[in-house]
């Protein structure tokens, strides 16, 4: 569907009448008079959120300091489940103790979680956390490493007692976007985002003047939505299950009440001016391309890496890596699927949820809330995002004005390193409250409407989204770099890990599990570290330096089998097979994994 002018999000600036939950519902006498009819006699239960909201709404801190909270889901009985993440994106800081999955419950009705239980994979079991989480048929589904796992909840418990069943495994990791958000529809269709390894499919990622790969082989295993069956276990990732393509990074999903319309967000590509200064002005680094909400269609092609959405021209245009010249040429983009709504560049839509409950005023029903994580690529101009936005919808298209619904998460400084909190997850509770997750300090907000049943006085008082065509403004800070770093070889892992001759990709995946203690009880991480980069007890296994073999597949397998009884550089010996009872096939799988760590 094309984004028609009637749905273009260009709006006048309205007076912002906000409330910050501070024992009252309004921020000014003017706001009080307009909200009196619905809010008289009511007050926020706490004053600890610091958020700015439309009149009649209240936000409180439901939980805090639970780890880097990503996506969130709420069970029918009000238990809030959160997936947390760790790793390079967070400067490899120390993960929260216990499992990466968190169950939060308010058992007293006070509006705050007084029960906090953790489960699932932990650092000790080789986990690194994840982003995606959902519920289906009373079970919790969560992304962990390269898998989506189902955790069955026993009667009377909010956490599982079993290790979980793998629904799908072998999802690609590495590169710029290793996370796997997902959504599950009522019929059990599991839609998984497998985002791109690179910014724009350049052979040298994020490198000035590097022409895009043609064909973009990365699209075989990345850059799209894959569909699986949430009712089946042990499914394997493969190109055959690809549902839609040309999607750079769709972290947010919104499913309407009919189940017929699935909306996804799109993180627009970065660094147009940085990599192609001959075609763009410096300020266009901050204003191109638009962020998007798209209608998911089977077999749909949304244009990445050849196309991006230009909000000024109001269409998909050809990327400079593929012959584009600053937005004039359209080329193959004329045949790609355009978005249904667009937003300012680089705001980073990390989550989306469809709202269909009765608690919020009618204005907020049958549309989507979007959590914008906040930009880095608008620098040296002022950053944007760091907020929650509401976009009304009607069927398969946008139906009205977009508004800034919740703001104030970042605090005084809206930058990736200066923000106090950054929205990253959204979920609607059974009572209609909106939960927002923050992935910096692990805060969970609960937003509810206190303005009275059916009150729509808020409809005339909202803050319009900035026009996506608005200028960048004044230079305020130095240029920024991608938060994931600039790995010029990121695309090398796009089709999966390197595989030695005589092995298979499935063997490498099994070796990964063996190395991280998930199979056969191996203790490799204890000596060589979770990332295999070495430690006090064992050498680095990632830099192709070998003391006991020639580094060949067979040589590594022999070293694992024989062990290292008299190490050359470490005190402690390695017993045969690391002290585990590995089968011959498991030894070969572990050797294939270690070999792959040294070949890209």
Q: Convert the pLDDT of each residue in 107-119 to its tens digit.
A: 999 999 999 999 9
Measured distance CA(221)–CA(241) in Å, rounded: 10
pLDDT at 499 over 70: yes
Alpha helix (H) residue ranges in 256-329: 272-275, 284-287
Measured distance CA(175)–CA(276) in Å, rounded: 22
What is the Cα gyration radius of the chain? 25
- Per DSSP, the three-state class of 509 is helix
Phi and psi torsions of 584, nearest 5°:
-60, -40
- Per DSSP, the three-state class of 285 is helix
Q: Mind listing the pLDDT tens digit for each residue in 187-201?
A: 999 999 999 999 999
Residues 6+ apart with CB under 8 A from 14: 461, 462, 463, 464
Measured distance CA(364)–CA(355) in Å, rounded: 7
Which candidate, 501, 350, 511, 365, places its Cα nearest to that of 440? 350
Residues 6+ apart with CB under 8 A from 319: 200, 212, 269, 305, 306, 307, 308
CA angle 378/382/384 to nearest 5° reads 70
Buried b (16+ CB within 10 A) or exposed e, 570-585: beeebebbbebebeee
Residue 496: per-residue pLDDT: 62
Which candidate, 7, 95, 41, 88, places its Cα nearest to that of 339? 7
Residues 6+ apart with CB under 8 A from 148: 132, 141, 142, 166, 167, 168, 171, 180, 182, 190, 192, 228
Which candidate, 125, 147, 120, 169, places its Cα nearest to that of 517? 125
Residues 6+ apart with CB under 8 A from 193: 132, 179, 180, 181, 182, 225, 247, 249, 250, 251, 253, 264
Measured distance CA(126)–CA(58) in Å, rounded: 40
Cβ-contact 297, 264 below 8 angstroms = no
Residue 321: per-residue pLDDT: 98
Residue 573: per-residue pLDDT: 79
Residue 88: per-residue pLDDT: 79
Which candidate, 247, 265, 236, places its Cα nearest to that of 353? 265
Residue 452: per-residue pLDDT: 62
Residues 6+ apart with CB under 8 A from 384: 344, 345, 346, 347, 372, 374, 375, 378, 414, 466
Share of the chain above pLDDT 90, in %: 68
The DSSP line for 43-112 is: --S------BEETTEEEEEEE---SEEEEEEE-TTS-EEEEEE-SGGGTTPPPPSS-SEEEEE-SSSSSS
Strands (E), 414-535: 423-428, 434-438, 444-449, 463-464
Residue 529: other Cβ atoms inside 10 A: 17
Which two structure tokens, joined as six digits, stand for 395? 């069927």
Share of the chain above pLDDT 70, in %: 89
pLDDT at 460 over 60: no
Which two structure tokens, joined as six digits, stand for 546? 């070998």
Q: What is the mean pLDDT of residues 323-338?
A: 98
Which two structure tokens, joined as six digits, stand for 133? 């989480």
Q: Mean pLDDT score of the chain, rounded to an integer?
A: 88
453 vs 525, higher pLDDT: 525
Q: Mind listing the pLDDT tens digit for each residue in 130-161?
A: 999 999 999 999 999 999 999 999 999 999 99
Q: What is the mean pLDDT of residues 365-386?
A: 95
Measured distance CA(432)–CA(385) in Å, rounded: 24
Residue 528: per-residue pLDDT: 87
Which of these ranges, 265-279, 287-301, 309-323, 560-574, has the smallest mean pLDDT? 560-574
Buried b (16+ CB within 10 A) or exposed e, 384-393: bbbbbbbbbb
Q: Mind listing the pLDDT tens digit for each residue in 387-443?
A: 999 999 999 999 988 999 999 999 999 999 999 999 999 999 999 999 999 999 999
Residue 509: per-residue pLDDT: 82
Residues 6+ apart with CB under 8 A from 186: 259
Residues 6+ apart with CB under 8 A from 116: 63, 66, 102, 103, 104
Residues 6+ apart with CB under 8 A from 363: 392, 456, 458, 459
Q: How many residues does the chain have?
A: 600
Which of these ranges, 275-289, 441-455, 481-495, has the smallest mean pLDDT? 481-495
């Amino acid at each position: 569907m094309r984004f028609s002018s009637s749905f273009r999000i260009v709006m006048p600036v309205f007076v912002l009448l906000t409330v910050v939950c501070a024992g009252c519902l309004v921020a000014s006498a003017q706001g009080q008079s307009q909200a009196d009819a619905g809010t008289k006699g009511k007050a926020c239960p706490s004053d600890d959120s610091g958020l700015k909201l439309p009149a009649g709404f209240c936000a409180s801190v439901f939980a805090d300091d639970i780890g880097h909270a990503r996506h969130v889901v709420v069970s029918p009985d009000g238990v809030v489940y959160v997936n947390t993440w760790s790793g390079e994106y967070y400067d490899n800081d120390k993960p929260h103790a216990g499992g990466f999955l968190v169950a939060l419950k308010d058992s007293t009705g006070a509006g705050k979680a007084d029960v906090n239980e953790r489960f699932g994979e932990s650092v000790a079991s080789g986990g690194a956390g994840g982003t995606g989480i959902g519920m289906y048929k009373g079970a919790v589904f969560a992304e962990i490493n390269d898998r989506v796992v189902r955790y069955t909840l026993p009667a009377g418990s909010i956490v599982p007692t079993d290790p979980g069943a793998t629904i799908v495994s072998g999802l690609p990791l590495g590169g710029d976007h290793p996370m796997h958000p997902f959504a599950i529809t009522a019929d059990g269709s599991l839609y998984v985002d497998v985002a791109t390894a690179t910014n724009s499919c350049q052979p040298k990622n994020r490198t000035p003047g590097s022409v895009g790969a043609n064909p973009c082989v990365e699209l075989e295993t990345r850059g799209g939505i894959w569909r699986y069956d949430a009712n089946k276990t042990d499914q394997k990732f493969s190109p055959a299950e690809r549902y839609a393509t040309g999607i750079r990074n769709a972290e947010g999903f919104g499913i309407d009440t009919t189940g017929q319309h699935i909306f996804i967000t799109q993180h627009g590509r970065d660094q147009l001016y940085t990599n192609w200064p001959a075609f763009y002005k410096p300020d266009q680094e901050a204003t191109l391309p638009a962020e998007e909400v798209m209608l998911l269609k089977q077999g749909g092609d949304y244009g990445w890496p050849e196309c991006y959405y230009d909000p000024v021209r109001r269409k998909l245009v050809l990327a400079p890596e593929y012959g584009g010249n600053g937005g004039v040429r359209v080329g193959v983009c004329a045949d790609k699927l355009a978005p249904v709504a667009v937003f300012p560049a680089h705001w980073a839509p990390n989550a989306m949820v469809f709202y269909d409950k009765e608690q919020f005023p009618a204005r907020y029903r049958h549309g989507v809330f979007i959590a914008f994580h906040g930009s880095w690529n608008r620098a040296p101009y002022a950053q944007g995002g760091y907020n929650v936005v509401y976009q009304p919808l009607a069927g398969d298209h946008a139906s009205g004005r977009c508004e800034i619904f919740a703001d104030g998460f970042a605090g005084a400084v809206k930058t990736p390193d200066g923000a106090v909190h950054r929205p990253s997850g959204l979920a609607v509770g059974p009572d209609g409250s909106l939960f927002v997750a923050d992935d910096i300090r692990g805060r969970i907000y609960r937003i509810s409407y206190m303005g009275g049943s059916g009150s729509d006085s808020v409809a005339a008082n909202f803050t319009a989204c900035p026009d996506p065509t608005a200028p960048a403004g004044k230079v305020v800070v130095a240029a920024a770099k991608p938060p994931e770093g600039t790995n010029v070889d990121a695309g090398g892992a796009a089709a999966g890990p390197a595989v030695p001759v005589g092995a298979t990709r499935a063997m490498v995946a099994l070796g990964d599990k063996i190395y991280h203690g998930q199979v056969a009880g191996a203790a490799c991480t204890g000596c060589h570290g979770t990332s295999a980069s070495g430690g006090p007890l064992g050498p680095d296994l990632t830099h192709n330096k070998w003391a006991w073999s020639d580094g060949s597949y067979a040589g590594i397998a022999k070293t694992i089998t024989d062990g290292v009884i008299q190490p050359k550089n470490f005190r402690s010996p390695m017993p045969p097979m690391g002290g585990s009872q590995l089968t011959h096939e498991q030894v070969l799988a572990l050797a294939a994994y270690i070999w792959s760590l040294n070949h890209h």
